[in-house]
């Protein structure tokens, strides 16, 4: 798969030669390549089985759908909208978009579009959706979280956005896994380099451990 800038060059050259539209020329060029890089599951951070279970489409099907809409030329939020249009929940729409941007060379793993790095951590806990969401309310999280957070957007019961003292954004998504089983996914960004992002990732690993201990029966 050509990188983004090379792909545009190839498309424009084909348009001049064939008179095709941008979209048609792009599809014809992509058909000559594998629809995804060989290491696509590693780039996405999850298998085909996981994304099919959550969204109903494989990574190849997602790539073709987004390519059909010329998504590699779109802003991040516009690609998210395309995923939402397929009926995918907000958190999975973000995950599909990030994976696609990695497939098409628009960002490295952990990197934001345009530079900077984010971290993502998740944890599944054997508690109800409502209980896990409530654990992140200001009074509750003060009992187990070692860093102060200020709420910015609270959308019960599925998402919450907060800010760290330095202004960094912490975004949470909650996904029900069963009657008494739910996961929380944490995204924090953006860090200037991979090293600082890795340090923060280690901190959030410990914070999610503390959350699990706080939620344990009898604690």
- 22 and 89 together in one domain: yes
- Write the pLDDT tens digit of every residue in 106-132: 888 878 777 788 888 999 999 999 999
Q: Is residue 188 part of a domain?
A: yes
Give the end of a domain, one of 71, 103, 135.
103
- 9 and 90 together in one domain: yes
Give the end of a domain, one of 73, 103, 133.
103
- Write the pLDDT tens digit of every residue in 153-196: 999 999 999 999 988 899 999 999 888 999 999 999 878 888 88
Helix (H, G, I), strand (E, B) or coil at 20: coil
Q: Is residue 112 part of a domain?
A: no
- 59 and 147 together in one domain: no
pLDDT at 91 over 60: yes
- 80 and 170 together in one domain: no
pLDDT of residue 28: 65
The residues, ordered by sequence, that sit 6+ positions from 217 with a Cβ below 8 Å of its Cβ are: none
Domain count, the chain: 2
Q: Is residue 74 part of a domain?
A: yes
Q: Which of 173, 150, 195 is nearest to 88 (CA)?
A: 173
Residue ranges making up the domain that contains 90:
4-103
The residues, ordered by sequence, that sit 6+ positions from 143 with a Cβ below 8 Å of its Cβ are: 214
For residue 158, what are its two tokens? 């599925």
pTM for the model stands at 0.60
CATH code for the domain of 136: 3.30.530.20
**CA distances (Å), 30 to each of 67, 70, 87, 138, in order?**
9, 11, 26, 49
Q: Is residue 111 part of a domain?
A: no
d(CA 29, CA 45): 26
Give the end of a domain, one of 54, 72, 103.
103
């Amino acid at each position: 798969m050509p990188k983004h800038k090379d792909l545009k060059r190839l498309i424009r050259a084909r348009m001049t030669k064939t008179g095709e539209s941008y979209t048609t020329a792009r599809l014809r060029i992509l058909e000559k390549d594998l629809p995804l890089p060989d290491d696509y599951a590693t780039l996405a951070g999850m298998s085909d089985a996981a994304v099919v279970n959550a969204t109903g489409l494989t990574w190849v099907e997602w790539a073709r759908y987004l390519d059909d809409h010329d998504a590699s030329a779109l802003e991040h939020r516009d690609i998210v909208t395309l995923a939402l249009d397929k009926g995918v929940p907000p958190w999975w729409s973000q995950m599909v978009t990030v994976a696609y941007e990695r497939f098409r060379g628009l960002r490295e793993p952990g990197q934001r579009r345009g530079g900077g790095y984010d971290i993502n951590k998740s944890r599944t806990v054997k508690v109800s959706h409502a209980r896990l969401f409530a654990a992140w309310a200001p009074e509750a999280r003060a009992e187990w979280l070692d860093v102060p957070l200020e709420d910015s957007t609270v959308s019960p019961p599925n998402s919450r956005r907060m800010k760290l003292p330095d202004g960094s954004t912490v975004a949470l998504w909650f996904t029900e896994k069963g009657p008494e089983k739910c996961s929380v996914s944490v995204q924090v960004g953006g860090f200037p380099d991979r090293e600082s992002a890795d340090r923060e990732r280690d901190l959030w690993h410990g914070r999610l451990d503390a959350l699990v201990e706080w939620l344990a029966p009898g604690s």
